Amino acid sequence: MKEKVVVAISGGVDSSVAALLLKKQGHEVTGITMILDAAPEKGGTAKACGLRAIEDASRVCRMLDIPHQVVDYSRELEDRIVRPFIEEYVRGRTPNPCVVCNRHIKFGMLLDRATALGFDTIATGHYAKIEQMEGKTILRRSREARKDQTYFLHAIKREALERIRFPLADLTKEAVRRIARENRLPVSDKQESQDICFIPEKGYGEFLRARSIDVNPGEFVDRQGNVLGRHRGFALYTKGQRARLGGWSGDPLYVLAIDAGNNRVVIGGKADLMAPGLVADRVNLLVDHLPERCVAKIRYAHKGAPCRVVLEGERLRVVFDEPQEAITPGQYVVLYEDGIVLGGGVIREELTP
């Protein structure tokens, strides 16, 4: 069935090919580019969503002969994404703003805008898959396992899934590049950004300082509170990161925890990073019921591990078959069964052995 579709076109190759494929399938396609300008005067950057991106998206839309609109969600980015991100960092947690952006802006505000304008669905260049199974709409991992982005999409509201399209679901990244070149899209060889869009190249420290957040040196300590050295500022570290101490000649040390209140970074050996499970909150489910057993990812690059899951009111308890390394508060745990995304939540604490 032909649809009236909005494509969130960023000026990159993935969203451009998504628009191309939908146009070739006969859908009525309109491209919308979001301005997500994280206040450069406050240390932010528009490297992924700025003038260059708008120009590239406009060129692609002209080439495809589809309408192109630009909408400014900079204020929403600041209120819903950037400020909570900073608050979490100041608490010593490691947030993932891309998950929040997908839920509230791309597949929240932009989807609602598209619906209000009379569009049937919204499409993006994400590597993920929407399917119908037993009369229900589900989110499934894409064919491109190396690029699968369902980890970042698990927090989308379940009722939104039926209005979302992922045209790249069955394609590899190499195939997408090939399609772009064959159709002479002007962004066919454009490099993709791997970083959080509002963090400048100088990194988290520079961004936080520009936001008047103190990033001061402090103490590296062991679990017993013994001082082992000096760090550059707790906000520059995350759990599992290698801790490098000048003059240290023992076994490698790693960040175990952040004591934000005392500006301390707790460090220890690799074995100290292992934990049997976790507790998560802000749970979002994409299925009616959770199975007793499934596979859980504790960060995007994690390959996933078998576990038992229990939903305890509004909190999720996950116990792994084998201890996992660097379970990090502020990150997300995402649950899968046979490639289907079951849901996930924000990691609040690790379970002790």
Residues with catalytic roles: 101, 197
Q: What is the rounded distance in angstroms from the CA atom of residue 98 to the CA atom of residue 100? A: 5
Show the tokens assigned to 250: 């023992």
Q: What is the rounded distance in angstroms from the CA atom of residue 61 to the CA atom of residue 9? A: 9
Amino acid, res. 70: V
Q: What is the rounded distance in angstroms from the CA atom of residue 227 to the CA atom of residue 242? A: 17
Show the tokens assigned to 50: 């700025």
Q: Are 125 and 17 in contact, with CB atoms under 8 Å apart?
A: yes
Q: What is the rounded distance in angstroms from the CA atom of residue 316 to the CA atom of residue 281? A: 6
Q: Are 343 and 153 in contact, with CB atoms under 8 Å apart?
A: no
Measured CA distances, 258 to 49, 208, 238, 328 (Å): 32, 16, 8, 10
Q: What is the rounded distance in angstroms from the CA atom of residue 13 to the CA atom of residue 5? A: 18
